[in-house]
Amino acid sequence: MFKLAPSRHTAELIAFVVGEMLVRNVTLFASNNSNKTSATLAPSGPEIGLSEDLSPYIPMFKSVRQNASKFDILHFHTDFFLEETRQILRDKKAAMAVTTHGLIIGRIYQLGFEYNTIPLISISNDQRVHVEGHPNWIATVHHGLPKDLYKFIEHPQVEAGKGPYLAFLGRFHKDKRPDLAIEIAVKAGIRLKLAASKFGAKDKYVEKILKMIDEHKDMVEFVGELNDKQKNDFLGNAIASIFPIEWTEPFGLVLIESMACGTPVIARRRGSVPEIVNEGVSGTLFDTIEEAVEAAKKASQFDRSAVRNEFEMRFTSDIMAENYEKVYNKMISELNNERKN
């Protein structure tokens, strides 16, 4: 179970933002230690985050089912489903929609859930391509962030005697490829700053990254984990952020965080990246290291106000909330028509 509050976990951050934007009459089912919200908070158990043990979620799903008739729509932000979810869908006491934030819908197969009946909302069109079977996709709603969460930095501040830098923000994981970010920066001859969430036991890949940082300490700096204010300065003062992912990520939130600061992105052409990055306006797409190196050398040529405008026109929380509201109205209307027949 997740704690609902602005955080580094995308799913609960987006659920929190949607709840804040749709303040008419929203109830949020979340962990007991969730932060203050404009919605009505329904504490539903301890915070457990990502876990293979789904049992702590059972009381929450039971509570949702028991109270379903009080709501017009039930919007789930979960990538797994229990027997209670099956019953909620069949009860038809409220319209139902599910935003899935990853590519792990295989869990539904494991639980024997006929997920082709669940109204699913994708977070990118590309996300749909990588899901097996025949899911019931009803809409795509891109993530959005509050317009004032990150301030626009038109002129990055250059540290005295150090020169400009590239930024990498993400986990030290082979899917995120910070090693590739280091290689690109070194070959381009441009400094690199890496910010990453705290890691526990250092596996071989993490050890590899730390060794690379040490080997190139004159050009590469690890700044640790950052809050939103620190991320604003970190991303906003970079000439570009590097997003060299290895996997088909359904939506990279760091892409729009960078755009919000006015910083163009140099992103690998994988997953939803081409759908999010307007090449030549908000960033550059690459397939090879050589292409990324050339993009890094030209990063300062981007119009940073155009990058920020791309964020404001496509990826604010207002736009996201409007799109979700359209989905809600459609689902409620369809359920009402079904009840009449």
Measured at the CA of 38, the angle between CA 35 and CA 43, to 5 degrees, comes to 50
Would the CA dihedral through 157, 162, 166, 168 be positive or negative?
negative
pLDDT in tens, 82-112: 567 777 878 888 888 888 877 655 554 444 4
User: So what's the pLDDT on residue 298?
Assistant: 98
- Three-class secondary structure of residue 41 per DSSP: strand
Better-scored residue on pLDDT, 65 or 280 = 280
- The alpha carbons of the chain give a radius of gyration, in whole angstroms, of 21
Higher-pLDDT residue of 305 and 26 is 305
Q: Quick check: 230 pLDDT over 50?
A: yes
pLDDT digits 0-9 by tens, 31-60 = 666 666 666 766 555 565 555 666 777 777
pLDDT of 1: 40
Residue 339 reports pLDDT greater than 80 = no
Q: What is the DSSP letter of 242?
A: E
pLDDT band, residue 228 (cuts 50/70/90): confident
Q: Which residue has the higher pLDDT, 72 or 135?
A: 72
pLDDT bucket at 337, cuts 50 / 70 / 90: confident
Could you give the CA distance from residue 271 to residue 180 in angstroms, rounded to a whole number? Answer: 17
| Structure tokens given for 300 | 């300062």
Strands (DSSP E) found in 225-332: 240-243, 265-268, 283-286
| pLDDT number for residue 322 | 92
Question: Which among 71, 107, 77 is positioned nearest to 91, based on CA atoms?
Answer: 71
pLDDT digits (tens, 9 = 90+) for 124-164: 999 988 876 667 889 999 999 999 999 999 999 988 888 99
Whether residue 4 is predicted with pLDDT greater than 50 in this model: the reply is no
Model pTM? 0.86
Pairing of strands 283-286, 191-195: unpaired
Q: DSSP secondary-structure letter at 35?
A: P
119 or 114: which leads in pLDDT: 119
What proportion of the chain, given as a percentage, has pLDDT over 70? 77
The model's pLDDT over 235-244, given as tens digits with 9 standing for 90+, comes to 999 999 999 9
CA distance linking residue 20 with residue 175, whole number of Å: 31
pLDDT at 14 over 60: no
Helix (H) or strand (E) holding 99: strand 95-99
Token pair recorded at residue 191:
């400094």
Give residue-wise pLDDT tens across range 169-194. 999 999 999 999 999 999 999 999 99
Between CA 244 and CA 288 the distance in angstroms is 10
121 forms beta bridges with: 99, 139
d(CA 228, CA 119): 33
Q: In the 8-state DSSP scheme, what is residue 56?
A: G
Question: What pLDDT shows up at residue 198?
Answer: 62
Stretch among 86-90, 202-206, 254-258 having the lowest mean pLDDT: 86-90
Q: Which residue has the tokens 């994708």?
A: 122
**Which helix (H) or strand (E) is 126 found in, with range?**
helix 125-129
Higher pLDDT, 323 or 115: 323
pLDDT for the residue numbered 46: 54
CA distance 323 to 96: 16
Terminal CA-CA length for the chain = 38
Q: Is the pLDDT of residue 260 over 60?
A: yes
What type of residue sits at position 164? P
For each of the domains in the chain, give its residue range(s) and CATH number, in order of start.
Answer: 10-144+317-340 (3.40.50.2000), 165-314 (3.40.50.2000)
247, pLDDT greater than 70: yes
